[in-house]
Every structure is written in C-alpha cells, then in structure tokens.
C-alpha cells in the first residue's frame, strides 16, 4: 500500500470536512468540519513523513496540529457560546454580521 492510498483518504477526509463546513446548519458541525480538515492535513504530514522523509518532522507537526486543534476547539466553543448569546441561534446562516 503506497502513498497514494493515504493521500486518497486525506483528500476524502478534506472534502468531507469542506462539505461539512459549507452545508451544515449547525455551527458545531462547522467546527467539526474544521477538525476534519485539520486531521486530513495531519494524515498528509504523517504520510509524507513515512514515505519521503527520514526524520520525525512530519509526525512532530501532526502532534503540534493536534494540540493547536485542541486549543482552537476550546476558543471556538467559547466564541460559539458568545455567538449564541448574541444571536440566540447557532445557525451559520443567521450569523451575517460580517456583511456590515
């Protein structure tokens, strides 16, 4: 099983993540889509490190991303909480203040 298979999984995951971000009606799912994209990136890091590298850089980046994702999730959930306070809703289509 070569690199292509990993990359295919990564692409699929990335695509699913994007679709999740774009289509979901709940902001929590959007956050989950973001997590999926991050994990797709992690798969890429690890896969490239496994097949093309000779050190631990890719794996270290993957771990770094996981930590960042955890922090980001905490911040994002806090933001969601505040958004819910402000808009009384967590539907992404209701949150259109960026238009202003």
Binding residues for other proteins, rule: CB under 8 A, are 18, 21-23, 30, 92-93, 95-100
Q: Pick between residue 61 and residue 92 the one whose CB is nearest to other proteins.
A: 92
CA–CA separation, 6 and 42 (whole Å) = 11
Query: Closest separation between CB of residue 73 and other proteins, Å?
Result: 17
* Least Cβ distance, residue 58 to other proteins (angstroms): 22
Structure token digits, residue 43? 């798969």
The whole-angstrom separation of Cα 16 and Cα 73 is 18
Instruction: Quote the least distance from Cβ 29 to other proteins, whole Å.
Output: 11
Query: In angstroms, rounded to a whole number, what is the distance separating the alpha carbons of residues 77 and 65?
Result: 18
Rank residues 54 and 96 by Cβ distance to other proteins and give the closer one.
96
**Closer of 75 and 97 to other proteins (Cβ):** 97
Selection from 11, 13, 33, 14 nearest residue 23 by Cα: 33
């Amino acid at each position: 099983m070569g690199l292509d298979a990993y990359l295919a999984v990564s692409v699929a995951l990335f695509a699913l993540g994007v679709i999740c971000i774009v289509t979901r009606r709940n902001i929590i799912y959007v956050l989950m889509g973001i997590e999926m994209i991050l994990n797709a990136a992690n798969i890429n890091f690890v896969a490239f490190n496994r097949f093309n590298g000779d050190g631990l850089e890719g794996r270290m980046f993957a771990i770094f991303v996981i930590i960042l994702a955890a922090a980001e999730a905490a911040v994002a959930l806090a933001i969601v909480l505040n958004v819910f306070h402000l808009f009384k809703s967590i539907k992404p289509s209701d949150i259109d203040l960026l238009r202003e």
